[in-house]
Amino acid sequence: MKLELIGKKLGMTQVYDGDNNLVPVTIIEAGPCPVLQVKTPDKDGYSAIQIGFNPQGKSPNKSNKCTKGHAAKAGVEAQQVAQEIRFSDDHEFERGSVLTVEHFKEVKMVDVVSKTKGKGFQGVVKRWNFKGGPASHGSMFHRRGGSYGLCQWPGRVFKNKKMPGHMGNASRTTQNLAVVKVLSEKNIILVKGSVPGHKGAIITLRVAKKSKTTS
List the beta bridge partners of residue 190. Answer: 27, 181
Q: Which residues contact 121 (CB under 8 A, 6 or more apart)?
A: 164, 165, 166, 167
**Does 48 lie in the same domain as 99?**
yes
> What pTM does this model have?
0.81
**% of the chain with per-residue pLDDT over 90:** 41
Q: Do 156 and 178 belong together in one domain?
A: no
In this structure, the answer to whether residues 29 and 75 fall within a common structural domain is yes
Residues 185 and 95 in one domain: yes
Contacts of 116-120 with CB under 8 Å at 24 or more apart are 116/168, 116/169, 116/170, 116/172, 116/196, 116/197, 117/168, 117/169, 117/196, 117/197, 117/198, 118/167, 118/168, 118/169, 119/167, 119/168, 119/169, 120/166, 120/167, 120/168
Three-class secondary structure of residue 161 per DSSP:
coil
In a domain, 140, yes or no: no
Residue 212 belongs to some domain of the structure: no
- Looking at the structure of the chain, the number of domains it has is 2
Same domain, 160 and 54: no
Residue 155: inside a domain: yes
Tens digits of per-residue pLDDT, 87-97? Answer: 776 667 888 88
CA 202 – CA 71 distance, rounded (Å):
20
119-136 residue pLDDT tens: 999 999 999 999 989 999
* 93 and 107 co-located in one domain: yes
Q: Is residue 138 part of a domain?
A: no
- Determine the structural domain holding residue 162 and report its residue range: 119-133+147-167
**How far apart are the C-alpha atoms of 173 and 43, rounded to whole Å?**
31
Q: Does residue 98 share a domain with residue 16?
A: yes
Give the sign of the dihedral formed by CA 152, CA 156, CA 160, CA 161. positive
Residue 78 sits in the same domain as residue 161: no
- The CATH number assigned to the domain holding 27 equals 2.40.30.10
pLDDT per residue as tens digits for the range 44-53? 888 888 999 9
Q: Are residues 74 and 84 in the same domain?
A: yes
141 domain-assigned: no
